[in-house]
Amino acid sequence: MTTAFRTALAAAVFTLAGCGILFPSAHDRAAKNTPGFKAGYSDGCASATNQDTNYSHDQVRDESSYASDRNYRAGWASGFTTCRTNLTHNPSANPIPDNNPGGHSY
């Protein structure tokens, strides 16, 4: 590895660690165990799953909790992002296996 690559890699790791992405704080871990976060995660995941199958659905969300509970909002966003499957078009994510990969003539 080159020195420039190592420096860039170290900078990226420290940046992500500082943001709490790689090593969440005790407060962040505790927030994920609250009933509000868990309910929000469940509702967000249900919304994402419904959106993937039915584009005219209503969101699954407790609006009063979303407006007043920070943990519910964070859980809803996390559940929606994690469970959403159509963020980008990925042909290799097809549930039907391709018996002839790379042999397509378009």
Q: For the segment 79-90, what is each residue's pLDDT rounded down to a tens digit?
A: 988 887 655 555
Q: Which of 64, 66, 87 is nearest to 75 (CA)?
A: 66
Mean pLDDT of 41-51: 85
pLDDT class of 2 with cuts at 50, 70, 90? confident
Task: Please tell me which residue, 78 or 4, carries the higher pLDDT value.
Answer: 78
Task: Please tell me which residue, 6 or 68, carries the higher pLDDT value.
Answer: 68
Question: Domain extents for the chain?
Answer: 24-55+62-84
